[in-house]
Amino acid sequence: MPLKYYVPLAISGFAALIILFTPASGVPSGFEHSDKIIHFSLFAALAYSSRFAAIGVMKTLTWTVGFAILSEVLQAVLPLGRSGSALDALFDVFGVIAGLLVAVRFVPARSAIH
d(CA 88, CA 100) in angstroms, rounded, equals 18
Number of domains in the chain: 1
Residue 14 included in any domain: no
In the chain (114 residues long), the average pLDDT of successive 10-residue segments reads 89 95 80 89 97 94 98 93 92 98 86 44
Residue 12 included in any domain: no
Residue 83 included in any domain: yes
Residue 98 included in any domain: yes
Residue 78 included in any domain: yes
- pLDDT at 36 (0 to 100): 94
87 within 8 A of 32, measured Cβ to Cβ: no
d(CA 38, CA 19) in angstroms, rounded, equals 9
Residue 24 included in any domain: no
Residue 101 included in any domain: yes
- Structural domain range at position 90: 32-106
